Chain A
Amino acid sequence: MHVFLQELINGLSIGAVYALIALGYTMVYGVLKLINFAHGDVYMVGAVIAYELAVKAVAARSPIWVTLPVIFLGAMGGCAILGFVIEYLCYRPLRHRPRLVALITAIGVSLLLENLFQNRLVFGATPRILPELLPIRPALSWAVGSEKAPVVVTNLDLISMGLCLAMMAVLSWFVLRTKMGLALRAVSFRVDTASLMGINTNRVISMTFVLGSALAAVAGVVDAMRYQVDPLMGLIPGIKAFIAAVLGGIGSIPGALLGGLLMGLVETLLKGYLPAQYNNYSNAAAFVVLILILLVRPSGLLGKTTVEKV
């Protein structure tokens, strides 16, 4: 029982990060029908910015309540600019081309970011550990079951889940309650009609990239504190978050949250219950679950089923 509860909490904590990345995938897919392969690398850039800022902050001995917000806002700002530039330079010229072309360009951008940051002059290929800003310690713990084993929630888990919920709330408010959000929904319905209604679709699409990249940056900072910073760190979470977006129903914002949390849970529960030598199978299991769900319900859990008409 206590293993189950502990893995549940770990799963939600990791899943919250996947959900944040998945939101970027799902929003971009919603408006452009493009799988933004570079999104996982934007998350990596967020982690790298966090690392650089953290090193400077530690050198300047700034207090933690200044450092943390600065790191988060810095990474979000940096990635927002990056997302804007990627869209403006690489995807916008290909807007009216077949989708596959933009997909290959996205793969190119992903390769570019990974290899650029592996360069010694930029960041280097060796993984680095973030200076310890916030010692990770249990924030909450309960003794559970007859053996009184503790179930622990660390402060990082709280930050991860809290930020995910806060970002979801802000995003929901933005999409459902603001004029820009209305425009975003209109564009995701149909780009041509939205532009006929006087919506500046270019601005809306840029906005989508800016928002999605900022959310990925938040995920990147959390994972930089949890694990380490490495130019290739975006690959696996990027793929998993994309699966999460598909699982929840790509294009659906609540779906991204649900899919992300489910992916986190599947991963940690399998790690918790499978014998240690099978740990690597948990990555494969994520794909098995995905293929099964796609076969049973290809539009994802919360996606709308559409019938193709001639």
Chain B
Amino acid sequence: MEAQQAPTATMLHRNQVPAWIMNVALVIVIAVLWPISVAFDKYLDSYVLDVLIRIGVAIILAVSLNLINGITGQFSLGHAGFMALGAYTGGVLLKHYQNQIPGELLPATFIGVTILGGVVASAAGLIVGIPTLRLSGDYLAIATLGFGEIIAVVLNQIDSIGKFEVGGSAGLHNIPHITNFFWTYAWVVICVVVIARLVYSAKGKPFFAVREDEIAAAAMGIDTTYYKVAAFVIGAFFAGVAGVLSATLSGNLDPGDFNFVKSIVIVVMVVLGGSGSITGSVLAAILLTYLPEQLRAFEDWRLVIYALLLIVMMLVRPEGLLGNRELWWTRKRLAFPEE
């Protein structure tokens, strides 16, 4: 066992860059994505571009789940449910209004719809978060899994809400294709920066405190319920955004895509990257989306090899790729939690 190091003030990450510089840098980074995206659309093979965009969506899902599972320590298996809510909100609205949106307003509409998808998902996060917070550990896992399954079953049954087509078990098809490299990676940047700056700021310490020891955190005056619900709401928001992005990527939605297997795939990314490590989640999301593509050569054995690699990786490096560290900080952060 590694020596337990008390997190002292000097160990905590000190942000010496003024906030406005970070914000300007953020805007510049997102702006630079636009010409890159145009160039990719023109010169890159459409299959490679598709994989790149799916990696982006996976990063958003993994990082947002990491806030709930890895950083706040609330083991949730319902992330696909939040994603489904966002995906269907976006898909249904965009399909219904696709002929009424003027071309020049499309980007603005898409931003609005993406945020709306996130808001719907985070409302669900709030509704799920509050009652299930009486539970912990495995019970929380199974309750959130149940929530995700309920959403998948309900989406499977509803054919339409009013004049909006939902598709039911046949799925929703012919959603306009809007997602491209720019939209996806702009959201990736926003998601990663928002979550990283939240949890590594002074306001973010309680999230780790709740994970490390809930009773001790409460004794220190932390409102643990508030932080647990906050993690669910923020995590669900980005899951909803990822849902809208993936809905307008393929143009098709199938309620079967959002069952607990999808949730498990996201959990695997978080744990493989190292629970609590944001850069770890990013790495694992890239690896676990790219790997199955590379294994296509093995055809039938592809998923067998994928599963074997997963088991071997967990046996060889159980703390995940990066453990509890971030890629760019050599200094060890909090000790790896036992139990």
Contacts and interface: CB of A to CB of B under 8 A. Distances in A.
Interface string B303-318: 1101110110011001
A116 B311 contact: no
Interface in A264-304: 277-278, 280-281, 283-284, 287-288, 290-291, 294-295, 298
| Interface SS of A by simple majority | helix
A281 to B, nearest CB: 6
B132 interface: yes
A291 B272 CA distance: 28
B134 A295 contact: yes
Contacts of B272: 104
B190 interface: no
Contacts, number: 121
Given A111-B310, A115-B303, A98 B339 contact: yes
Given A242-B142, A280-B157, A284-B154, A97 B318 contact: yes
B134 A280 contact: no
Contacts of A105: 310-311, 314-315
B142 A111 contact: no
A139 interface: no
Contact of A94 (B75, B132, B318, B339): B318
Q: Which residue of B146, B275, B336 has the most chain A CB atoms within 10 A of its CB atom? A: B146
B146 A115 contact: no
B300 interface: yes
Q: For this complex, into which size category does the number of interface residues on chain B fall?
A: 35 or more
Contact of A283 (B153, B306, B307): B153
Contacts of B261: 235
A119 interface: yes
B37 interface: no
A308 B215 contact: yes
B138 A278 contact: no
Contacts of B226: none
Q: Pick the 10 closest A-B CB pairs, nearest first.
A: A287-B146, A112-B307, A284-B153, A111-B307, A115-B303, A108-B310, A108-B311, A101-B318, A105-B314, A284-B150
Given A98-B337, A115-B307, A239-B149, 12 more contacts: A29-B138, A97-B318, A105-B311, A112-B307, A112-B308, A115-B303, A246-B138, A281-B153, A284-B149, A294-B135, A298-B139, A310-B216
29 contacts: A90-B315, A97-B318, A98-B339, A101-B271, A101-B318, A105-B310, A107-B267, A108-B310, A108-B314, A116-B304, A119-B301, A120-B300, A121-B300, A239-B260, A243-B142, A243-B146, A246-B142, A250-B138, A277-B157, A280-B153, A281-B154, A284-B149, A287-B145, A287-B149, A290-B143, A290-B146, A294-B135, A294-B142, A295-B131
Interface of B: 75, 131-132, 134-135, 138-139, 141-143, 145-147, 149-150, 153-154, 156-157, 169, 215-216, 260-261, 264, 267-268, 271-272, 275, 300-301, 303-304, 306-308, 310-311, 314-315, 318-319, 336-339
